[in-house]
Amino acid sequence: MTMTFEPFTPAGTAEQRQYDGRRRAGEPAAAPAWEETPRWEEAPRWEEPARWNEPAGDPWAEPAPRARQGWVEDPQWQVPQQRQPQAPRWHEEIAAPVAVPAAGEPEPRRSAVGGRIKPLVVGVVVLLLLVAGWQAYRIESMSDHNQSLASGLAAEKDRTDRLEQQLAGVFDPETVSSKVLPSVFRVRAGSFTGTAFSVGTKVKGNESNLMTNYHVVAEVWTGGGRRVSLERGSTKITASIVDVDKGKDLALLHADTKIAGLVAAPATVKPGQQVVVVGAPLGLDDTVTTGVISAYRPDDSDGPTIQFDAPINPGNSGGPVVNATGQVVGLATAKAKDAEGIGLAIPVKTACATFAVC
C-alpha cells in the first residue's frame, strides 16, 4: 500500500486533517472543497516511525517556493513484507508428499538417494518378472521335450523288442556251443566209446542225471557192471548206470558230481530248423557239427525219429542235438551207411517220458 504525504505532520493535528491526497507545494492550508472525512482514521500499524525521505533542515518549516510548481510525490510507505513460505521443491521422482516448512524454519534438505530407489525397485521387479516368464517357458519346453523323449523311448523299446525277436531266430553256433559244451562228456564203457549229457534238474544238490544210448553201455550192462567213466579234457567222473530201455535204445546214468543240466525243448521240431550236434566222434571230445532238421518221422517203426543232416560218426552216439536257442531236441543215435548227410536222433521228449528226469 502506498500513501502520499508532504512533509511529515504528526497524526491527529488539524493541519494533518486538511491534507487529502496531494496539494501543491507552498499553498496555504485551506478547508477542503468537500465535507468528506479523511480516508485514513487510524495510525499506521507499526509503532516504529517510518523512515522518510525528509529534506534537510527544520522538519516543521514550510518548503521554500520553487521556481516551478508541480505535483510532488510523497514518500512511499515501505511495508515490511513477511517471509512467505516457499513452495516445496518437489523432486520429480518422489511421489510421496513433502511437508512444507513453517515460516522462518530452514527448509530440510532432500536426499538424492530416495530418487534412485524407485527406478532400482522397478528394475528389480521387471527383472524378476522376466526371469519368472523365462522359467515358465523353459518348464513348458522341458515338459514337451520329456514327452517327446518318452514317445521316442517307447518307439525304441518296441524296435528293440522286434530286433530281439528277430535275433532269437538267428542261428549262432558259437553261442550255442559255448552254452552246451560244459554239460557234454565222453563216455567210456568197457571197449565202447560214446557221448552222454546232463539234463534236467530233478536231482539232489551235488548229483546229476545224464542220458546216452543203450548200445553205448550195453557191454557193461549185460556183463553185470554198472560203472562207466565220464571224461572231458582232464576231468574224469565216475557214473553209474541206473536204468536202460533196450527197445528205445536209451540209458540213464547218475553221477555224484554237480553238472549243469541242459533244458529239453518243449516243442516238436520242424524241418528246416538249424541245429548243433555235440559229441565225441572217434573219441574226440568237444566236437561240434551243424546242420538242419531234414525231417520229423513220428510214425517210424522204431518209434518217433528225427532226421538231420549234420555230420556224425561213431562216438557221437548219445550226444545232444540242440536247436538255435540251446535247447535239446534229441539224442544222436545212428547214421545211414554208404550215405552222406543222413543222421537219426531219438526225440528228447521220448527220453524224458521214459525216465521222468527232465
The tens digit of pLDDT for each residue in 290-316 reads 999 999 999 998 899 999 999 999 999
Name which of 128-142, 186-200, 338-352 the model is least confident about.
128-142
Segment 153-162 mean pLDDT: 82
Residue type, 14: A
- In this prediction, residue 330 carries a pLDDT of 97
Contacts with 357 (C-beta within 8 Å, 6 or more apart), sequence order: 199, 200, 202, 203, 209, 211, 252
H or E element at residue 16: helix 14-17
- Predicted confidence (pLDDT) at residue 347 exceeds the cutoff of 90: yes
Q: What is the pLDDT of the chain when averaged over all its residues?
A: 79
Over residues 230-247, mean pLDDT: 96
Residue 170 has pLDDT above 60, yes or no: yes
pLDDT score of 145: 79
Q: How far apart are alpha carbons 210 and 250 in whole angstroms?
A: 11
Report the C-alpha gap between 15 and 160 in whole angstroms: 131
Phi-psi region for residue 225, left (φ > 0), alpha (ψ -120 to 50) or beta? beta
Q: What angle do CA 217, 218, 222 make, to 5 degrees?
A: 125
Dist CA 132 CA 45 (whole Å): 71
Give me the amino acid identity at 268: T
Q: What is the mean pLDDT of residues 219-236?
A: 95
| 3-class state of residue 296 by DSSP | strand
Cell numbers describing residue 288: 561240434
- To the query of whether residue 249 is one of the catalytic residues in this protein, the response is yes
pLDDT score of 221 more than 90: yes
DSSP assignment, residue 235? Answer: E
Contact yes or no for 102/85 (Cβ under 8 A): yes
Active site residue 229: no
Q: Quickly list H helices, 112-250.
A: 113-168, 173-180, 214-222
Q: Is the pLDDT of residue 30 over 60?
A: no
Whether the predicted pLDDT of 206 surpasses 50: yes
pLDDT above 50 for 216:
yes
Query: Picking from 21-25, 129-133, 304-308, which range would have the lowest pLDDT averaged per residue?
Result: 21-25
Catalytic residue among 198, 208, 249, 285: 249
Is 91 among the catalytic positions?
no
Q: Which three cell numbers stand for residue 339?
A: 550215405
Judge whether residue 11 has pLDDT over 80.
Answer: no
pLDDT of residue 83: 58
Q: Would you place residue 328 in the very low, low, confident or very high pLDDT band (cuts 50, 70, 90)?
A: very high
Q: Which domains does the chain have, with CATH numbers?
A: 1-62 (no CATH), 175-355 (2.40.10.120)
Residue 307 CB neighbour total at 10 angstroms? 19
| Vertex 161 angle, CA 159 and 167, to 5° | 105
- Say if residue 154's pLDDT is above 70: yes
Give yes or no for residue 82 having a pLDDT over 60. Answer: no
Selected catalytic residue, list 74, 198, 215, 285:
215
- Percent share of the chain, pLDDT over 70: 66
Tell whether the model's pLDDT for residue 204 goes beyond 70.
yes
**pLDDT confidence tier of residue 104, bands split at 50, 70 and 90:** low
Q: 96 pLDDT exceeds 60?
A: no
Residue 147, pLDDT > 90, answer no
Q: What is the CB neighbour count within 10 angstroms for residue 84? A: 7
Please check the confidence at residue 178 and state whether its pLDDT lies above 70. yes
183 three-state secondary structure: helix
Question: Torsions phi, psi of 180, nearest 5?
Answer: -95, -40
